[in-house]
Amino acid sequence: MSQELIQNWLARLRDSVARRDLEAHMALVSDKVQVYGIPGQAVVDHAGWRRRRDNEFRHDRLASLAHENIRIKTISLRRLGFEVDEIMTATAGPVLRLHKTILLEEEDDGQWRVVEETVHDWRIEQRKPT
């Protein structure tokens, strides 16, 4: 069940990026989200996440997201923590590969949202020719 929930949440995240649907994307992000480990920024909150995605969508900068190597780390009644490799493909230019921990929480409305992310490692890769 936990693996299925994570896969479903990640699929909805990828779909929102593919459709450039900011509202669907932000519906997966808790108002209390905190993102740690982004170079040059102490913490990214909900407003910062929204600004970044809005900019990427409006200016067609983010082509797609993909996820690999999901490893569940913690499971509790209303929280799921997992590590994942996230691949962010830009519309033009390189690919950003992030190794991160994501903590999902079932909020009071019954929806699972990300409440915390920690970026452990990242690297830029050259886009493979199509």
The pLDDT assigned to 52 comes to: 95
The mean pLDDT value of the chain amounts to 95
**Amino acid letter, 122:** W
pLDDT tens, residue by residue, 23-60: 999 999 999 999 999 888 889 999 999 999 999 999 99
Integer angstrom CA distances of residue 79 from 2, 35, 50, 99 = 10, 16, 23, 20
Domain boundaries, the chain: 2-125
Q: What are the counts of helices (DSSP H) followed by strands (DSSP E) for the chain?
A: 3, 6
Domain covering 2-125 in this structure, CATH number:
3.10.450.50
Q: Which carries the bigger pLDDT value, residue 128 or residue 91?
A: 91
Task: Please tell me what DSSP assigns to residue 22.
Answer: H
The pLDDT assigned to 42 comes to: 87
pTM: 0.93
The pLDDT assigned to 129 comes to: 55
Contact yes or no for 22/28 (Cβ under 8 A): no
Query: Span 119-123, mean pLDDT?
Result: 96
CA atoms lying within 13 Å on the CB side of residue 101: 13
The pLDDT assigned to 128 comes to: 64
